[in-house]
């Protein structure tokens, strides 16, 4: 099988590699190709994973809003791996998978509340170059969420921005986690709607 990544994956070896593969199979049902790509530099992979796990302990933002924001950021950047992983994680964590499924077409979907739409709009605005976040967006979210949750929201989107851009640059694509647990595919983005 030929890799689709821009850096060919390497074999994940050693005691830490065996543990990584075991944890990955337990959590995701497979060892994603992207882990083999990142295994070229194990310390970088470990630090990135450690930081990712720490973000999971943040608790000022509603978990559904956090998921919708990270998925909207991943969609704005075009990271199919991130979208698929977070859709799978929403299912795994008992979040509203119907809403998670609709994130790629959130502007047209009727599944979302006004606040959820504001959160996804903010996520997309943070992913543009240059950023298109406005004072009005920030003020509305500050009023609705409070300062700690807005800070968490902003940081989660920033982390996803970094991760998604790295995955896209390296050619790391969807590992079809959602298909492995029987979820319907993510809703396709409407062709007539330009990215924000």
* Angle (nearest 5°) at CA 145 between 163 and 117: 65
What's the pLDDT at 36? 98
Specify the pTM. 0.91
Element (H, E) at 71: helix 63-77
Q: For residue 27, give the nearest of 101, 97, 92, 95 by alpha carbon.
A: 92
Longest dimension (CA), the chain: 52
In this structure, which topology does domain 61-180 adopt according to CATH?
A: AhpD-like (1.20.1290)
| Residue 4 confidence (pLDDT) | 86
89-95's contacts with Cβ under 8 Å and 24+ in sequence apart are 91/178, 91/181, 91/183, 92/181, 93/63, 93/67, 95/63, 95/64, 95/67
Q: What is the pLDDT of residue 194?
A: 46
pLDDT, one tens digit for every residue, the chain (196 residues): 456 899 999 999 999 999 999 999 999 999 999 999 999 999 999 999 999 999 999 999 999 999 999 999 999 999 999 999 999 999 999 999 999 999 999 999 999 999 999 999 999 999 999 999 999 999 999 999 999 999 999 999 999 999 999 999 999 999 998 887 788 889 998 654 444 4
């Amino acid at each position: 099988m030929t890799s689709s990544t821009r850096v060919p994956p390497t074999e994940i070896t050693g005691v830490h590699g065996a543990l990584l593969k075991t944890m990955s199979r337990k959590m995701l049902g497979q060892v994603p190709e992207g882990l083999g790509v990142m295994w070229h530099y194990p310390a970088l992979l470990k630090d990135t994973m450690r930081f990712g796990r720490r973000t999971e302990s943040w608790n000022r933002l509603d978990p559904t809003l956090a998921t919708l924001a990270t998925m909207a950021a991943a969609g704005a950047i075009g990271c199919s791996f991130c979208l698929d992983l977070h859709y799978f994680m929403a299912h795994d964590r008992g979040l509203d998978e119907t809403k998670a499924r609709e994130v790629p077409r959130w502007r047209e979907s009727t599944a979302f509340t006004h606040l959820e739409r504001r959160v996804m709009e903010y996520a997309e605005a943070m992913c543009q170059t240059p950023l298109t976040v406005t004072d009005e967006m920030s003020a509305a979210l500050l009023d609705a969420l409070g300062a700690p949750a807005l800070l968490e929201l902003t940081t989660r989107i920033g982390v996803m921005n970094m991760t998604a851009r790295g995955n896209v640059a390296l050619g790391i694509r969807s590992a079809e986690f959602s298909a492995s647990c029987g979820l319907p595919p993510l809703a396709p983005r409407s062709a007539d709607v330009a990215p924000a």
